[in-house]
Amino acid sequence: MEILTQQLFNGLTIGSVYSLVALGLTLVYGILHIPNFAHGALYMLGAYVTLTSMLLWDFNYWLAISISIIVVGLLGVLMERLVFNPLKNAPPIHDKIAAIGILLFLEAFAQLMWGADYRSMSTPYGEVVNIFGTTVTMQRVLINVGAVIVMITLYLFLKKTIVGSTIIAMAQNRKGAHLVGINTNKVAMLTFLISGALAAIAASLSAPINLVFPGMGHLVILKAFVIIILGGMGSIPGAIVGGYILGFSESLGATYISNDYKDIIAFVLLIIILSFKPQGLFSKEGV
Amino acid sequence: MGPLQKKHLIITGLIILAGIFPFINQNDYWLHILTLSFIWMIAVYGLNLLAGYTGYLSLAHAGFFAIGAYSLGLLTVKAGINYWAALVLSCVITSVIGFLIGLISLRTREHFFAIYTLCVGYVIYLVIDKWDSLTGGVRGLIGIPAPSNIGPLSFESTLSQYYLVLFFLLATIFVMYRIVHSLSGRTFIAIRNSEELAGTIGISTMKNKLVVFVLSTFFAGLAGALYASFIRFIGPDIGYTTVIFDLLTYLLVGGIGTLAGPVVGTMLIVSVSQSLQFLQDYRMLIFGPLLTLIIIFYPRGIVGFFSDWYRKRQSTKLQSQKKKQVKSNMDDEDLHEDRVKEG
C-alpha cells in the first residue's frame, strides 16, 4: 500500500512536468499548426540557464528561474521570427525539417557551452516532509504545487484577459482573427514566448530531481508529443489530462511491469492510439 | 549536342570516375570514407522516394537501417547462414517489418505520420538496446563476416568492398530512375501534390503509399546490411534518432525530391565533415542552421537550385532566339511590303 501511494505521488510529479511541457507544445500547435520538434531543446536550455545563473552568479533559485523564463521565452520569439514566420506558406514538411534543424543546433550549442557531462542541480528545498503517511522531498511538492499554479494562471490569462483571448481566437481561425483586427504576427510571437517560458519552468522545477545534460530534452519532447496526440492536438485541457495520464501509467508501469521498459510505455500507448484513431484521440472529424 | 546527351555524358563520366577512383587515389582512408558515403546514399535514396516523391516524412528510417544491419549481423554471426542468403533475408525481413508498420502508420497523415514514425524509430532503438539476449544490448554485435566469395571474387579487401557497394549504389540509382520516370512514379508525385485529388482520379492512395513505404524500407535495410558487413561491428547507436537527422541533412542539402540530390548532398556533407574533423560533436552547430536556412531559401536543395537556374537560362535563351526570329520575320514582311509597293 505504501509503495502504491509513493508511486502515485511520483506519477503526479512526473505528470506535472509532462503537462507543462505538453502545454507549450500544444499552444504552438494550436496557433501555427507546427509540431515544434525544437521544444525539447528549449526545455533543455531552460535547465541549463537556471543552473548557470545559480552556479556562476550565485543567484537564488527563484531569481535563476525568472532569468531562465525570460531567456528561453525570448529564444522562442526569435525562433518564430527567424524561422517559422518565413515558412508560413510553405508545405508542412518544411516546418518540421526546419524545427529539426533548430533542435540539432541548440543541442550542439549546449554541448559546446556546458560540455556533455551529466550535472545535478542543487535546490534549497531538499528537506523531507511527511504527507499522508508518505515521505517526500520538498522539491517534489514544489513541482506539483508550482505546476498547478502555472496552469491556473495560464487558464485565467487565456480566458479572462483580452490578450489571452486573441490567442484563442487565432487558434480557432487565423484568417478570421486577422479580419477582426488582431495582429496575428504579435500573437504568434506571444505564443512562442509563453511556450518557451513554460518549457523553462518545467525544466527548472524538475532539474533538481533529474539530471541536466544536453540530451535531456529527447525523451521529454517525444513524450510530450504522445501527450498532445492523446489529448488532441491544440487542446489545452487535453494536454494537462494527457500529461497526468502518462505520468501515472509510467510510474505504475515502472513498479509493476518493468523498470527497463518504462520509457516504451508512452510510445506503445501512442502506437495503439494512432492505430485505431489515426487523427488522434479527441480530434474533430473531418479536420 | 542536346541537353539529354549532355546529361548522359556527365553521368557516364561520373560512373567512370567512381570506377577508376581507387587507382587515382591509393589512400585507403579515403576509400573507406567513400564506401561509407555510398552506403548512406542508398539509405538516403530510400528516404527520398518516401519523403521527396510521396511527401511522407518518415523519421523511422534509422530504425529500419538498424533492423537491416542487425538482421544481417544476427543471421551471419548467430545463425551462421551464408552471407549472400543473409543479405537477401535481411532485406526481406526489413521489408516485412516495413510492410506491417506501414500498414498502420500510413493511416495517419502529415504531422501525425512524422510523430508516429519518430516514436516507432525510438521503439526500435529501445528494443535493440534493451533486448540483451538477442542483440547484445549496448555492447553491440562483433565479428560480422565480410561478404563471402563468389567463385574467384573475394571481398576481404577495402577495394573489393568499395566496388561491391558501388555496384549496389548504381543498381539503386537505376531502380530509382526507372521508378520515378514510370507511371507509378507519377502516381507517387500526384499523391504528394494532393492526396484528395489523386483519389478523385482513381488512384488507390493507400496501396501506392504502402508500396513506396515498403520500397523505401527495403533500401534502408539494404544499406544497413551493407553497413554491418563493411564496418563488421554494430551497436544500438545506428538506430538512434541522430542517424535519421544525418540522413535528412544529406537529403535536404542535396535536394529533396530530386534524383541527383542524395548523391550530391551526401558527398558534400561527408567531405565537409571530414575536413571539419576537429569539430566532431559540434558539427551540428553548422549543419543545424544550414538545414534550416536551406529549407527556408532553397527548399529543393543544391540540385533544385541548379536545375531552376539552368531552366531559367534555357528559357531566356529560347526567348531571345524567338525575339530574333520574330524580328527577322518582320524584316521579311517589310521587304515583302516594299516589293508590293514597288510592284
pLDDT tens for each residue of chain A, 287 residues long? 677 777 888 888 888 888 889 888 888 888 878 888 888 889 999 888 888 888 888 778 888 888 889 999 999 898 888 888 888 777 777 788 888 888 888 888 888 888 778 877 777 776 777 776 677 777 788 888 888 888 888 888 888 888 888 888 888 888 888 888 888 888 888 889 999 999 999 888 888 888 888 888 888 888 888 888 877 777 788 888 888 888 888 888 877 777 767 777 777 777 787 777 777 666 544 33
Q: What is the pLDDT of residue B334?
A: 59
ipTM of the complex: 0.78
Contact A35 B114 (CB under 8 A): yes
* Chain A interface, best mutation among B124, B292, B294, B296, by max A CB count within 10 A: B292
More confident residue, A127 or B243: B243
Question: pLDDT per residue over B185-239, tens digit each?
Answer: 888 888 888 888 888 888 888 888 999 999 999 999 999 999 988 888 888 888 8
B203 touches chain A (CB under 8 A): no
Which residue of chain B comes nearest to A264, CA vs CA? B123
Quick one: which of B274, B239, B279, B230 has its CA closest to B87? B230
For chain B, the average pLDDT equals 82
Q: What is the pLDDT of residue A286?
A: 35
B100 touches chain A (CB under 8 A): no
B96: pLDDT strictly greater than 90: yes
A220: phi > 0 → left, psi -120 to 50 → alpha, else beta; which? alpha
Quick one: which of A65, A73, A77, A75 has its CA closest to A203? A65
Question: pLDDT per residue over B77-90, tens digit each?
Answer: 888 788 888 889 99
B276 touches chain A (CB under 8 A): no
Prediction pTM value: 0.81
Domain positions in chain A: 2-276
Question: What's the Cα-to-Cα distance from A260 to each of A254, A265, B126, B170, rounded to whole Å?
Answer: 8, 10, 10, 43
Where in A29-95 does DSSP place strands (E)?
A: none
Q: What is the pLDDT of residue A63?
A: 85
Place of cell 519523403: B51
Q: What is the pLDDT of residue B221?
A: 92
- The number of C-beta contacts closer than 8 angstroms across A and B is 119
Q: CATH second-level architecture of A2-276?
A: Orthogonal Bundle (1.10)
Residues of B in contact with A286 (CB under 8 A): none
Which residue of chain B comes nearest to A271, CA vs CA? B116
The CATH number that domain B22-299 falls under is 1.10.3470
Q: Percent of chain B beyond pLDDT 90?
A: 12
Q: What is the pLDDT of residue B336?
A: 59
Q: What is the pLDDT of residue A285?
A: 40
Question: pLDDT per residue over B64-80, tens digit each?
Answer: 999 999 998 888 888 87
Which residue of chain A comes nearest to B290, CA vs CA? A101
Q: What is the pLDDT of residue B127?
A: 85
Q: What is the pLDDT of residue B45?
A: 92
Distance spanning both ends of chain B, measured CA to CA: 45
Rg value, chain B, Cα: 24
A100 touches chain B (CB under 8 A): yes
Where in chain A does DSSP place strands (E)?
A: 128-131, 134-137
Helix (H, G, I), strand (E, B) or coil at B236: helix
Q: What is the pLDDT of residue B341?
A: 52
In the DSSP assignment, the letter for residue B147 is: P
- Of B115, B281, B295, nearest to A108 by CB-CB distance is B281
For residue A68 the three cell numbers come to: 531562465
Q: How far is residue B240 CA from its own chain's centroid? A: 19
B154: pLDDT strictly greater than 60: yes
> Are the C-beta atoms of A219 and A263 separated by less than 8 Å?
yes
